[in-house]
Structure 1
Amino acid sequence: MFSIVLNIVGTLFHLYVAARLYSLDAVRSRIPRRVWWVGALLVWLVYFAGVRIGDEALDWRWWPGQFALTWLGITFVMSLCLLAADLASGFGFWWRAHTQKIRALGAAAGVLLAAFALFQGMRAPVIVDQEVVMRDLPKALDGTVIVAVSDIHLGAQRRSEWLAARVAQINALQPAAVLMLGDQVEDNPVGRPLPGEPQLAPTLRGLRAPLGVWAVTGNHEFYGDAETTVREFEEGGVRWLRDRQVELAPGLVLAGIEDIGRRMRNEADYTSGLARTIPAPTNTATILMSHIPAAAIIEEASARGVDLMLSGHTHGGQIWPFSYAVQKRFAKFDGAYDVSGMMLYVTRGAGSWGPRMRLWKPGEIIRLTLRAPKISSQSALPNGSVPHGG
């Protein structure tokens, strides 16, 4: 069903862009109609084949799948700009003397925006710094640095070489612990993607974090063989928190819950995992990892005394204007929020899904510096935390 939708939507975008570009005098005067439309048909056939193959093949088939998603993203961005030009010119019914210029401006804007989105999607994720005051954090742990990364989507787009660059990027931050917030893989286990390419486990073992590397599952882990993916990452020294908690250091607890995506889709209760993981309100400094920033999980985590909740999944909308649709689904979808004294950080992730494009913001890796509350004569929030705005 999903591939059928992609075929229909992608075909409409493709035809609209091809028709509008060929309506430009600068194009029509240089390229014969038959040549243009034969070329458009060939590009569409590659797109159609790529949709049929999918985006997860790790052999030679990866490129038509990736082309299809990239072309879908490019034609979407260009369609937005060309449609804006058509609306401005009344689809050629008014301002006829300026229709060609307006349409040419729309085409140029579409090309530039698509190129910028590709650049933002392919560049290395930026490092975002965030300080977190935790009400019960021991003084001895003040200044502890934790790095969180989400939605790396290893697979056809991003493989061991890309991951190795992220490992070096993370190690340069000298974290005490590394937290992986779900959607580590696109669909299926990565294994050995291509002959001669480094395996995943040795790359993961390159992470340097004295308090360990920890992970929770995301919805994409379960689109493939989740248990094999779990084993692959365990071979690389990653430890999974699947509805359980550990003492990361004396006085600091790290908890993680299994992905709730399937339960949400089935409209089932999805807070039971959190209730098992943190069965009672806690007075210990606690970090919770939950891939999806669902409202009920956020509220329950705050009520149970969690100091810091970390999520991903939303990609920050990834390609504008989808950010508005994502925000309707998840009110807290990008950045830091104060939730009754608990800090929630929803990261837009280091990778991407679908087209390797981002409009407007690039991917990110979060460096969190934990702070013990300062005791002063000034008034403070009830639990000693500091407010954060999203």
Structure 2
Amino acid sequence: MFERMILTLFSILGLLNGVFFSIIYRKSKFYIYIVLSLLISLSAAGFFLWYARGYDSLGSWSLWLGYLMCGIMVAEIIAAAPLFACTMLSFFRKIRSIARIGAVLFMAMALGIGVYGAIDGNCSEEVAHVDVYVEGLPEAFDGYKAAQMTDTHIGPYFRYTDLPGEIRKARLEGAQVLFFTGDLIDDIRHMPEAAQTLSTFYGVFPDGIFYVWGNHEYYRGKDYIEEELEKTPVQILANEHLAITRNGETLYVAGVDYPWARGEAMKEEMDEMTDEAFEGIPAGAPVILLAHHSDFLDEGFKKGAILTLTGHTHGTQFGLFGKPLWTPFTYTRGAYSDGTHLGYVSRGDASWFPFRFSCERELVIFTFHRK
């Protein structure tokens, strides 16, 4: 179904952009523009889908070709609205030449943004450092460091062979615990290797690795992913909590599952999940809440969690000056606060589609301080 949706979407975009160009340039053989645009768009989408299936057996050339094809796909999306505008302007004879120049420039700009974003989006990563100041934080946790990883989407762009380096980077930053907030893998053919990596690196973090479910685990086969993770010492939190103890003092870690309801029913489901995860935690105790969906920040604020960590949004992967241009999410990227408690939405360590623009991948390191 996903493949049909992608092919259908880019068939429509290819046809539309071809029609726009044929009108702008007023060519009698308009079908050449339409067919050529359709072929380019379908070839890009087709390669994207084919590469995802067979990247393991292909050389490095295929990755760079993949970036180009992803860039073309992005360009088709970005260019559609400007080309439509140029089409409308082309009906005015006096500015038709300007409309034609504009169409070419917009298409070139869209392609440049697409290809650059595909390459840089997969290759660049920021290590973000966030200081968390907590009133009443147990003294044993003053200066404590935690790493958040999320949305690696192990597959053709972030491969299972990239996972050890990412985890090693978190430890080198001084993290004493690793929190993974979902969407570990898309290509579950490599789930055994991913699980082995998590098992191997579990011991390098003094307080281990904690994990909560994302939506892609359900898409790709949660039962199998869970079966492999259960072979590791990784702590899976599904509407429950565990404690980290240092020098007789305790920091609680609560984790919730992914909510599938919508509208008001989703809020009720999230309330139930959070209540279940917090059940048994002493009142006023310091708690870190782990979730995949960013709407859980509200739950963390309501429950008094000192820090709520989520992912899921990928920061929208597109923006300007470090800010998203548009977002369907209440909480999209970075730090949020209700004035007392902190929430953080990670842009993700990777993504299933490599394009990013003004929204780098990130590994997040949190340092806790007594207030």
Same fold (TM over 0.5): yes
Structure 1 residues 1-390: aligned runs within 5 Å: 2-17=2-17, 43=40, 46=43, 49=46, 55=52, 71=69, 74-81=72-79, 83-84=81-82, 87=85, 90-94=88-92, 95-186=95-186, 188=188, 190-191=190-191, 199-204=193-198, 205-206=200-201, 208-249=204-245, 250-260=249-259, 262-264=260-262, 267=265, 269-270=268-269, 271-279=271-279, 282-294=283-295, 297-320=296-319, 323=324, 326=327, 328=328, 330-353=329-352, 355-373=353-371
Map Cα deviations across residues 32-78 of structure 1 (whole Å, 9 max, x no partner): 99998776565455456568769566766999999899746633434
Quickly say closer, same or farther: Cα 1:65–1:325, change in 2 above 3 A: farther
Asked if the contact 1:55–1:65 (Cα under 8 Å) also holds between the matched residues in 2, the reply is: no
SS at match of 2:137: coil
Shift of 1:229: 1.2
Shift of 1:258: 1.5
Quickly say closer, same or farther: Cα 1:155–1:237, change in 2 above 3 A: farther
Quickly say closer, same or farther: Cα 1:112–1:145, change in 2 above 3 A: same
Equivalent position amino acid for 1:299 in 2: D
SS at match of 2:343: strand
SS at match of 1:190: helix
Asked if the contact 2:258–2:291 (Cα under 8 Å) also holds between the matched residues in 1, the reply is: yes
How far apart are the structure 2 equivalents of 1:65 and 1:361?
Answer: 21
Quickly say closer, same or farther: Cα 1:97–1:54, change in 2 above 3 A: closer
Matched residue count: 356
Gaps of 5+ in 2: none
How far apart are the structure 2 equivalents of 1:79 and 1:304?
Answer: 41
How far apart are the structure 1 equivalents of 2:111 and 2:185?
Answer: 30
Calculate percent identity across the aligned residue pairs.
21
Shift of 1:135: 2.2
Shift of 1:338: 0.7
SS at match of 2:147: strand
SS at match of 2:85: helix
SS at match of 1:227: helix
Shift of 1:111: 1.9
Quickly say closer, same or farther: Cα 1:99–1:128, change in 2 above 3 A: same
How far apart are the structure 1 equivalents of 2:97 and 2:43?
Answer: 37
TM-score by length of 2: 0.81
How far apart are the structure 1 equivalents of 2:49 and 2:166?
Answer: 31
Gaps of 5+ in 1: 193-198, 374-390
Asked if the contact 2:153–2:185 (Cα under 8 Å) also holds between the matched residues in 1, the reply is: yes
Q: More helix by proportion, 1 or 2?
A: 2
How far apart are the structure 1 equivalents of 2:108 and 2:44?
Answer: 23
How far apart are the structure 2 equivalents of 1:238 and 1:88?
Answer: 55
Shift of 1:222: 0.9
TM-score by length of 1: 0.77
How far apart are the structure 2 equivalents of 1:265 and 1:66?
Answer: 41
SS at match of 1:259: coil
Asked if the contact 2:125–2:362 (Cα under 8 Å) also holds between the matched residues in 1, the reply is: yes
Asked if the contact 1:148–1:180 (Cα under 8 Å) also holds between the matched residues in 2, the reply is: yes
Farther off after superposition, 169-178 or 157-166: 157-166
Asked if the contact 1:187–1:222 (Cα under 8 Å) also holds between the matched residues in 2, the reply is: no
Quickly say closer, same or farther: Cα 1:308–1:79, change in 2 above 3 A: closer
Asked if the contact 2:14–2:34 (Cα under 8 Å) also holds between the matched residues in 1, the reply is: no
| Equivalent residue number for residue 378 of structure 1 | none
Equivalent position amino acid for 1:87 in 2: A
